[in-house]
Amino acid sequence: MSSPSDRKEQKSWFTVLAISLGITLSLGSLGFLGYVQKTFKAYYISSSAMEPTLKINDRILANQFAYQSQQPKRGDLILFLPTETLKQQNFHEVFTKRVIGLPREKIAIARGKVYINDRPLEENYIAEPPQYEYGPVAIPVNSYFVLGDNRNNSYDSHYWGFVPQENLVGRVSRIYWPPIA
């Protein structure tokens, strides 16, 4: 049998362990929350340009560090600052579009399809096929051609040109509101 002093010593050891564990977990949680806060930023979708993928009033999270160590890939949903052309038209808010063309590729839009280097792009995410013609045009180095998924109702690269690499803000990570069932 243990003596009362042994039980008291065990109880104080357990209390110290519990407090230490609580402090460690709290500091770890704060560090994780700080990381999340610096890495991800919330945005609001205010137009129908990305329907059916993103709808008006959707709230999204963007990974702001996604393109610091890698380049955007075709199909990525990106956020970017307005280009010089857009700034001249008095646009100041971040845009959300889909990367379609990559640097040094040739892009054309004809007969309801997008062509990359003369090959049709398969797109199962668009609202309807584009009802306009564009190109062919070569995409400059360090630039991207972006389109909205609502091709016929999107103010995008086929109007105002390419997105320079330095304008990229991040990649859409997820829709957080409304919750998806």
pLDDT tens for each residue of 98-116 = 999 999 999 999 999 999 9
pLDDT of residue 44: 86
Dist CA 161 CA 181 (whole Å):
37
Q: What percent of the chain has pLDDT over 70?
A: 77
| CA separation for the pair 117, 106 (Å, rounded) | 5
Is 19's pLDDT higher than 50?
yes
Same domain for 53 and 90: yes
Mean pLDDT of the chain, nearest integer: 85
For residues 32 and 104, which has the higher predicted lDDT (pLDDT)? Answer: 104
CA distance linking residue 72 with residue 9, whole number of Å? 59
If one counts the domains in the chain, the total is 2
76-94: pLDDT as tens digits: 999 999 999 999 999 999 9
Cα separation of 14 and 178, whole Å?
Answer: 44
Q: In the predicted model, what is the mean pLDDT of residues 15-25?
A: 59
Query: Could you tell me if 56 and 77 lie in one domain?
Result: yes
Q: Is residue 79 domain-shared with residue 131, that is, in the same domain? A: yes
Range of the domain at 9: 4-40
Residues 34 and 113 grouped into a single domain = no
Q: 128 and 148 in contact (C-beta within 8 Å)?
A: no
Task: Identify whether residues 85 and 161 lie together within a single domain.
Answer: yes
55 and 24 within one domain:
no
